[in-house]
Amino acid sequence: MARASRPISRRQTWWLLASAIAAAAPLAQQVPLWLALAGASAFGWRALLTWQHWRLPPRWLQVLLVIAGTVGVFLQYRTILGRTPGIALLLVFLALKLLELRAARDAVVTALLCYFLVLGQFLFTQTIPTAMLAGLTVLITTAALLAASDDRPHPRQQLRRAALLLAQALPFMLLLFVLFPRVQGPLWGIPQDRFSAVSGLSDSMSPGSIAQLSQSDAIAFRVQFKGEVPPQSQLYWRGPVMPAFDGRSWRVAQTMGAYPEVPYAGAGTPVEYEVTLEPHGKHWLFALEMPASLPPESALTSDYQPVARQPVRNRTRYTQRAWPEALAGIDETPGSLRAALSLPKDGNPRTRAVGAAWRAEHGEDGAAILAAAQNLFNRQLLIYTLNPPLLGADMVDEFLFDSKRGFCEHFAAAFVFALRSAGVPARVVAGYQGGEINPVDGYLEVRQYDAHAWTEAWIAGRGWVRIDPTAISAPSRINNNLAAAVPANEGLPLLARSDMAWLKELRYRLDAVTNGWNQWVLGYNPQRQRDLLASLGLKEPDWRSMTAILSVLCGVIMLGLAGWILRNRLHVDPVLAAWRKFTARLARRGMVWQPWEGPLDFAERAAAADPAHGEGIREIAALYAGLRYGPAPQAADLIRFKNRIAAFRP
């Protein structure tokens, strides 16, 4: 109890302040600006109090600040429960705890708060930089905790001691990570009070929406093929299907699944692959056309859009099979065909007239009308661009016959409108097209700038047929990538540029490291654990065998650490060993040296208790202080120190 109430020193305060700043700084962007500024002010206030040797604020003021901080958090979030309000409240408590930092007990509480806030960082982001920053914060906090019991070592030595402690704990951490039974989903998958904004396709498409998305180089998903990678022109990643059109925007008609299994027959050689999908907050999953299988907890909508039962708010990994030549929708329902023919009552008269002419010429021959539409797009010499002009009310007419400049959504929307005008059911499909193989790890990386829109037309006897009108005017977009299709003077995302080889090489390596982290650390789920243990010879481990293995391996590590500690004890500093021998003699006379007590202070206290031997005690303590904390000791000084202790006989 006396040790817990011992006052803390200035050096201990600086250590704890550094630990608190390291723990709070990464979370500042997750809380309101007023709270971040208030926390910074509290840290600065505590630093000023320590620097100037001023007294801490009175207890009544501290209580008022706690109440004000708690009320402020409640008014900001309308609750003090949940992820972000809880972290905000802990930041308030940490900042105010520093203002009542008086005893060793307070130092321990502060360090524990810092440890908890390190864990809180992973509730918002789990990237490699976050893990590195968290590791640095743990190192500083551990050093602060060591300084709370003994602040005499130099800061560099204190950090070295903390690093040694963490290194000793690292084998246990790795064992628990690999062998401890995993739960489905991340440990930080708690109910979130608000979801972070995520980039990706929307459930609607209007002119310019996908063109804006093409400015982002963020990863949408990664794919690992189990066999040969299909050609670039076949990499159509099916996403939201949009049959509804209001004259300006195309929209998803349904979001939940109608088919628990694939309802169409397969054709062609199946392609097997695994997708690692980044969170996007929607229900849909992306699959290579056409899906031949469905992941667990998913289904197909009536327009063959793969959807998950729950919104994708965490990184998700699933295996898939695809039929490149599947015949889907041959027996399509009349309701779906009517929805795929619906048009607004008026607007775009020129395109409607062209469609009516096709209908008059070819009748109900959908294949002939489809060929006529492709021929029209080919004759118009349309230009594929990231910067299309603004369009008015008759946007299809203006695109096809006036500006003739657009992005994929312009091509797909105009093509569907023309087909519907001719009586051919058609709809817009949004998703991603293409991707880029990372030569470092072999994964296909699909980024947001690979977002694309194409067309599906229903042809009797063939079902839904994919037609990509963008490929008619800009085939290089489909066969190569975005950079090969747009004019050279148009702005591209940095990672989409093909004229910076060194940047691409660096990007490949960083992406491979990030993917490895996602797959084997963040994505180390029960299936991954079973696969890893099976590769180590544990085919079907149960909890008994896992517990036994974990206990044995932890015991081996503890024996190794014990042997290492015993070996190091044989190499104790001779100066420290002689001093301990000296203090042991005084302890038998009731003068006990405390580890936190300096040698000269202890000598004065011991000399006051035993005046007859005071000079001898002071002399030995002075020799020890010089040898321990002064320049490198000489052999003669060490011999003199040992002889003086040997001659000391109280």
Q: Which of 318, 317, 296, 294 is nearest to 306 (CA)?
A: 294
Strand pairing category for 383-384 and 405-406: parallel
Given 408, 410, 441, 511, the catalytic residue: 408
Can you tell me the distance from the alpha carbon of 200 to that of 210, in angstroms, rounded to the nearest whole number? Answer: 9
CA angle 567, 569, 573 (to 5 degrees): 130
Given 106, 441, 468, 511, the catalytic residue: 468
The token duo for 507 is 């990007």
Q: Are 420 and 230 in contact (CB under 8 A)?
A: no
Q: Are 89 and 73 in contact (CB under 8 A)?
A: yes
The token duo for 144 is 């602060």
Can you tell me the distance from the alpha carbon of 282 to that of 603, in angstroms, rounded to the nearest whole number? Answer: 71
Count CA atoms within 13 Å of residue 556 on its CB side.
7
Helix pair angle (349-362, 366-379), 10° resolution: 140
Cα 151 from chain centroid (whole Å): 37
The token duo for 431 is 């998703």
Q: Which residues of 267-284 are buried (b: 16+ CB within 10 A; e: fewer)?
A: eeeebebebbbbebebbb
Residue 423, phi-psi category: left (phi > 0), alpha (psi -120 to 50), beta (remainder) = left
Q: If you ran DSSP here, which 8-state letter would residue 315 be given?
A: -
Q: Among this protein's residues, is 114 annotated catalytic?
A: no
The H-assigned helical ranges of 122-213 are 128-149, 155-179, 209-213
Give the start-end residues of each E strand in 448-515: 451-459, 463-467
What residues act catalytically?
408, 452, 468
